[in-house]
Structure 1
Amino acid sequence: MYLDEIFAAGGPLAGVLPGYVPRAGQLQMARLVERGLLEGIHTVVEAGTGVGKSLAYLVPALRSGKKVVISTGTIALQEQLLTKDVPLVQRALGTDLRVALLKGRNNYLCREKLARLQRDTFVASSGAMEQIWDWARWTTTGDRSELAVQPGPGEWEQVDADADDCLGELCPFYDTCFYFQARERARFADLVVVNHALFFLDLAMGGALLPPYDFAVLDEAHQCESWATSALTSTISQRTVGRMLRRLNRYYTLDTAVEDELGEGMRRLGSRLAAVDQDRYPLSANAPARELLLELAPAFERAELWLDASWQSAYRGAFDQQVAERRRELCMRGIVAHRQALQQLQSAGDETIAWVERGEPGERHRICAAPCEVASFLQRALFERCESVVLTSATLAADGSFDYLRRTLGYEQAQECVAPSPFDYERQAGLYLAPPSLNPKSHDFARRAAALVEEALDRTRGRAFVLFTSYARMREVHRLVAARVAFPCRIQGELARSQLLSWFRRTPSAVLFATGTFWEGVDVVGEQLSCVIIDRLPFPSPGDPLVAARLRAIDSAGGSSFEEYMIPAAITRLKQGFGRLIRSVEDRGIVVLLDGRIQSERYGEAILRALPPARRITDLGEISAFLGDSTG
């Protein structure tokens, strides 16, 4: 059966999907993807919101007869693929292919660690741990997402299937191991669904985590540069060293001199890192911290020498030669990884950037090192080795061009297209631009912007996301606005992200003040979200060490970092924020951009051209009429 028949009004998709309406962009994308899979060509598609890109790549993938890995950027999209889209396409095509979900191993429960913990402690140490023990009795997947309450990282660490604790086939629970069962299902599956974190870590490890595959589909591909960078990043922190020491103490009577030297060295380093009052800064800006790193190197070397000499005599518990040798290998791997990270940090230069950032709660600061660019790595590890790679997202092109994506991800030859959204943006969406004089860099921006936010919320009767590029600006504007509007307001940080979204969806006229994590991956259909207010053009921060390194590299090569990196990155981000608003053909809404530079600076025209063609609103007083409200 031809694709045109499958996607036709009376075709098999229409037969299993109530209310199915053929979409030209969806068929266009499906044709391109199928051609790429058949001819071994890489494919890049910007699929506008509403195109239905999941079905457009699933139909060719399931018809290909080859093993396909689909990688997504969000858990929500993984769940949508597994529980809705894949079963629907299978019914439409009359296929019964094997489909598997595979997550990173830290998401799975380790039966051996749990048994050892229960043997040593007898009673669960907390309410969360008691839930884990109860859950372990009935779970068939060991996937931590099944837990009603998510444990903290310190508690989950005690029972997770960490690679550096895994005995593999020597483990007494190997045959019933949740992680290896998931890997086995993936090995025999025709279609494997993973997330970007696992996909790019597999590339970084030379294919050690995923089964061999013929084709790869990367959904939400605008995130690929970030995830690839994360996979190639080495990290040292008090948390990583603490975990390494706890592992050594679990299996050995550790020399206190070794433990004290590393522990004290990391405490001194942590204090030195915190002396710079920034969330993220170049390691080169903290000379004393670099000196402390040099002092740490011998401590890790002494730990390695101690383990090599004492792994038998200091071993805890009954000694089994094979198990003991595997334990030594695993613990040695952790020490060596830290030594290699130190070397990478000390040799940072033009090709590698080292920086300091605040970690997760309880981690304080961590030091990271990563390559300045990932294009050459992806070219070698992915695009030259995989027969056909599909990159898709609602935001890939900048002003109709894929040059930015091509430079950052490293593919050379690909078929590219923009599949247009079926939504009528001129009728459904309005765009209000702040006056040219309103500059986010001015001292009175928050006060002037707050007045516009207040008026916009009055006109839309709440029902809005107010999105910011910084926490400080978010808190400042929230303080100025929240008490002055008659709508329920919440600010990011008051509740967990999922709880905030649930609150917003069920609360009439709700207003949510938020930052980066709410720019994408959020789906609120209907009039509950009728306005998205954006504080400024979302250029990457030039003060960010990685961004600064990439800008320098472009300029050193004779390019224009602002034109080639900053503007395309801002367009991608802005389109993601815009995409929160119109999610169906019935939605109507307003985007309010508070950054007047889009009208006063020469680059503003290029950014506006790249946005969906919304109707221009010149006065906030027009909003009520546009939304069809009688109030205002």
Structure 2
Amino acid sequence: MLTDIIKSQVRDIHQRIKLSLPGYQPRQGQNQLVAEIAKIVAGCYHRHERIGLIEAGTGTGKSLAYMLAVIPYALAQKKKVVIATATVALQEQLVNKDLPFFQQHSKLLFEFNLVKGRQRYACIERLRQQQKHPELFATAESAKVNWQALLDKWQQRQWLGDKDTLSEPLAEPLWQRIVADPLHCHKNDRRHAHCPFHLARAEIGSADVLVANHALLLADLSSGSSILPPPDETIYIIDEAHHLPDSAREFFAAQAQLTHNQQWLDKAGKTIQQLVSLLPATVMKELLRFDDSCNELSSLLKPIERCVEEFRLRWFSDKTEFRFHDAALPKLLQQQAEQLAQVSQKALSQLEKVQQQLQENITELQLPLKQSMSLLQELGYLQQKVEQQQALWQLYALPQDKSVQQARWVELQNQSQHVIAHACPLGVASKLEQLLFNDAFAVILCSATLTALNSFQYIKYDLGLTQFDGVQTLQVASPFAYAEKGQILIPKMNTEPTDAAYTEELGNILPGYLPEQQASLVLFASYWQMQQVAEALRKKGFSLLVQGEASRQALLQLHGENCRHQRRSILFGTQSFSEGLDLPGKLLTNLVITKLPFAVPTSPLEEALAEAISKKGGNPFLQLTIPATSKKLVQACGRLLRQEQDEGRIVILDRRLVSKAYGSAMLNALPPFRRQIDR
């Protein structure tokens, strides 16, 4: 429970932080967040199920609140804190701004660290090889890179050895040459002991607070907590938690090619022959076993390819994707799935041993460097191919009876004509329950948009929390004076977005809602419609900053420049501009939403989710589409007021908010702006 000492400590820290912030305004919502989160993690509501779903509106000071509530308690209980976010931007804000501020003013003795995946780090030994033997790796691209300058920056600590702190970004193929993959960068090899990745991992053990992304958290939980502390010793704060179900679906999904597999299997055979002539006799047994597994994979995949060729015309007669209804695979694919999963798993295990042997023998036997490096690269490529096959067939081997658990589909790649098979779980509730919620000491899931239509039920279902009695929910409204500072205007329109003439009407009506000397953001539901309207407005003389015509950063810089010189600035963007875009003050005073952000259920995953709901007698539109659209609309409207002094207007050019039965529920889920609905 929360002791009087911890309560007093939290109050004292809060007081010091208030005094250190100029113009600090006390926020009742933030106090409520601190109190409730502290009670949840301390087990005041439920001794074992310490789980909280927290929706905190813009400006509530959410990150400071959860640090205040959790870190003093975690230190007292000798627990670790893991903060997981969905975006790099929030990770950087936490590590570079929020945590240093809290550490300084709390006077607490704790260390924090950013945890990144291995792929974000360079291997210094591989970098040295690029610099020492340029002839082994020579290409037109690599000739332009000053590898020595990179080494110097690392030695002088001007570069931290990771992808994110490079002064000039490296093209992906060049980065892959020096990346700290497990094949090249072994901790046990003394040459790699001081590589950035291993140094970063060494710091994790001493850190009390760790910041990671959702994908790394899921990967670590799946591998048995090989990087992060064990769940029962950890208080998790899952920020941007509305992304967690999708992050988990993506993580547990799989894809692999069904055709043209013989190309890489033949390459495997040639690689094995080269290794036989290079490595000592002690490695032969493992090499031959791997060769046998590759031959077995080849014999299993050949009939699969013939089956795919038979179905190709039926699957791709008029589109490039074909979904298997009810996840029912063609008979041959279903029959072969379990055996393919087993054989590819065996091949993967053997391949890892061969890689290790080659790595060790390069130094011990002074093997030819150029040939060894080339073979290591080939083995890395083969590992990727076998891993993809193993993950796909493992999912395809799972039975899909009356209760369908997966979306399964095939895709034709236009350029290569390869057929790629996909599998994605429809729900991740059981996985999250098993990996996270059952064992964690405590989990706080928070976001500015965690509810849908003002209800936590949707996110509870997605996350697998409906069976947990101890789950606490809390909604804390933004302190912003929405009614005073902003207005929602729904103008009269002649057409609805489903009408063919709607795009033309947008081009005609929009000029009247783009004020002079103001900053506008116009959000579109489709890229095509955005381009059509942009063309129409440019013909009328409007200067526009359109997503896709320059990088996001470049567009925002131009927008900022326009605003500084008090020129009218108009940004056009699609869905990706409706979340995570921060335009405070005069950078945005006029937000136009052209169309409710309904996701068209054309993706195989969305189709499969809708199909599964229909089979259970539900209504996919009401259960899936409306809640998801409502959440996206709230996120889009959240672009307008970013600070307490901000003000402006939201124009929604979609009359379905007033003409359809679901419209009032969507309107009532939005912040309480003043409303003007033209009749």
SS of corresponding position for 1:522: coil
Range 611-620 or range 599-608, more displaced: 611-620
What CA distance in whole angstroms lies between the structure 2 residues aligned with 1:336 and 1:27?
52
Alignment partner of 1:482 is 2:551? no
* Aligned residue number for residue 468 of structure 1: 524
What CA distance in whole angstroms lies between the structure 1 residues aligned with 2:270 and 2:169?
26
Q: Check conservation: 1:355, 1:367, Cα contact below 8 A.
A: yes
* Aligned residue number for residue 88 of structure 1: 101
Name the aligned partner's letter for residue 220 of structure 2.
D
* Aligned residue number for residue 39 of structure 2: 35
What CA distance in whole angstroms lies between the structure 2 residues aligned with 1:160 and 1:198?
17
After the TM superposition, which residues 67-86 of structure 1 pair with which residues of structure 2 at under 5 Å, given as runs?
Answer: 67-86=80-99
Q: Which runs of 5+ in 2 are unaligned?
A: 277-290
**Which residue among 447, 455, 459 is the counterpart of 1:401?**
455
Structure 1 residues 12-60: Cα deviation after superposition (integer angstroms, max 9, x where no partner) = 1112222221111111111111111111521111100111101010112
* Aligned residue number for residue 68 of structure 2: 59
Alignment partner of 1:144 is 2:163? yes
**Which residue among 350, 353, 376 is the counterpart of 2:430?**
376
Structure 1 residues 585-612: Cα deviation after superposition (integer angstroms, max 9, x where no partner) = 1111222222221111100011111000
What CA distance in whole angstroms lies between the structure 1 residues aligned with 2:238 and 2:346?
40
After the TM superposition, which residues 379-394 of structure 1 pair with which residues of structure 2 at under 5 Å, given as runs?
Answer: 379-394=433-448
Structure 1 residues 269-324: Cα deviation after superposition (integer angstroms, max 9, x where no partner) = 99x79967768763679999999999999999799879969959x96984759999
Range 62-71 or range 4-13, more displaced: 4-13
* Aligned residue number for residue 173 of structure 1: 191
Structure 1 residues 184-208: Cα deviation after superposition (integer angstroms, max 9, x where no partner) = 2122200001112211222333323
Q: Check conservation: 1:431, 1:591, Cα contact below 8 A.
A: yes
* Aligned residue number for residue 282 of structure 1: 323
SS of corresponding position for 1:169: coil
Q: Check conservation: 1:355, 1:545, Cα contact below 8 A.
A: yes
Name the aligned partner's letter for residue 523 of structure 1.
D
After the TM superposition, which residues 537-548 of structure 1 pair with which residues of structure 2 at under 5 Å, given as runs?
Answer: 537-548=596-607
What CA distance in whole angstroms lies between the structure 2 residues aligned with 1:156 and 1:363?
28
**Which residue among 162, 165, 172 is the counterpart of 1:153?**
172
Q: Check conservation: 2:341, 2:389, Cα contact below 8 A.
A: no
After the TM superposition, which residues 163-562 of structure 1 pair with which residues of structure 2 at under 5 Å, given as runs?
Answer: 163=182, 165-212=183-230, 213-236=233-256, 253=274, 282=323, 318=362, 320=364, 334-344=384-394, 346-347=396-397, 349=400, 350-355=404-409, 367-411=421-465, 412=468, 413-435=470-492, 438-457=495-514, 459=515, 461-486=517-542, 488-508=543-563, 509-562=568-621
TM-score by length of 1: 0.83
What CA distance in whole angstroms lies between the structure 1 residues aligned with 2:64 and 2:532?
43
What CA distance in whole angstroms lies between the structure 2 residues aligned with 1:290 and 1:520?
43
Alignment partner of 1:121 is 2:125? no
* Aligned residue number for residue 627 of structure 1: none
Range 193-202 or range 219-228, more displaced: 193-202
Name the aligned partner's letter for residue 253 of structure 1.
Q
Range 186-195 or range 12-21, more displaced: 12-21
What CA distance in whole angstroms lies between the structure 1 residues aligned with 2:269 and 2:197?
23
**Which residue among 150, 153, 161 is the counterpart of 1:135?**
150
SS of corresponding position for 1:527: helix
Q: Check conservation: 2:80, 2:234, Cα contact below 8 A.
A: yes
Range 218-227 or range 345-354, more displaced: 345-354
Change (3 A) 1:319 1:568: same
What CA distance in whole angstroms lies between the structure 1 residues aligned with 2:68 and 2:671?
27
Name the aligned partner's letter for residue 256 of structure 2.
I
Q: CA deviation at 1:222?
A: 0.8
SS of corresponding position for 2:495: coil
Structure 1 residues 340-380: Cα deviation after superposition (integer angstroms, max 9, x where no partner) = 23424655852121245799x99999643221111111111
What CA distance in whole angstroms lies between the structure 2 residues aligned with 1:364 and 1:588?
52
Change (3 A) 1:365 1:469: farther
What CA distance in whole angstroms lies between the structure 1 residues aligned with 2:519 and 2:72?
42
Change (3 A) 1:331 1:484: closer
Name the aligned partner's letter for residue 249 of structure 2.
T
Structure 1 residues 111-170: Cα deviation after superposition (integer angstroms, max 9, x where no partner) = 23333444443467427961565334323431111123323322222221234x245234
Change (3 A) 1:322 1:126: closer
Change (3 A) 1:331 1:485: closer
What CA distance in whole angstroms lies between the structure 2 residues aligned with 1:576 and 1:302?
43
SS of corresponding position for 2:587: coil
Change (3 A) 1:84 1:169: closer
Q: CA deviation at 1:331?
A: 7.4
Range 372-381 or range 347-356, more displaced: 347-356
Change (3 A) 1:218 1:287: closer
Name the aligned partner's letter for residue 562 of structure 2.
T
Q: Check conservation: 1:438, 1:594, Cα contact below 8 A.
A: no
Alignment partner of 1:111 is 2:96? no
Change (3 A) 1:249 1:234: farther
Name the aligned partner's letter for residue 444 of structure 2.
V
What CA distance in whole angstroms lies between the structure 2 residues aligned with 1:322 and 1:532?
65
Q: CA deviation at 1:227?
A: 0.7
Change (3 A) 1:249 1:168: farther
Change (3 A) 1:343 1:27: same
Name the aligned partner's letter for residue 376 of structure 1.
S
Alignment partner of 1:598 is 2:657? yes
Change (3 A) 1:453 1:216: same
Q: Check conservation: 2:13, 2:105, Cα contact below 8 A.
A: no
Q: Check conservation: 1:7, 1:22, Cα contact below 8 A.
A: no
Q: Check conservation: 2:256, 2:389, Cα contact below 8 A.
A: no
Q: Check conservation: 1:105, 1:162, Cα contact below 8 A.
A: yes
Q: CA deviation at 1:387?
A: 1.4
Q: CA deviation at 1:246?
A: 9.3
Change (3 A) 1:363 1:574: farther
Name the aligned partner's letter for residue 561 of structure 2.
R
Change (3 A) 1:483 1:62: farther
Name the aligned partner's letter for residue 555 of structure 1.
S
Name the aligned partner's letter for residue 61 of structure 1.
V
What CA distance in whole angstroms lies between the structure 2 residues aligned with 1:80 and 1:179?
22
Q: Check conservation: 2:341, 2:397, Cα contact below 8 A.
A: no
What CA distance in whole angstroms lies between the structure 2 residues aligned with 1:387 and 1:244?
46
Q: CA deviation at 1:182?
A: 1.4
Name the aligned partner's letter for residue 368 of structure 1.
H
SS of corresponding position for 1:193: strand
What CA distance in whole angstroms lies between the structure 1 residues aligned with 2:531 and 2:418?
22
Change (3 A) 1:424 1:195: same
Q: CA deviation at 1:61?
A: 2.1
Q: Check conservation: 1:9, 1:20, Cα contact below 8 A.
A: no
Name the aligned partner's letter for residue 197 of structure 1.
A
RMSD: 4.5
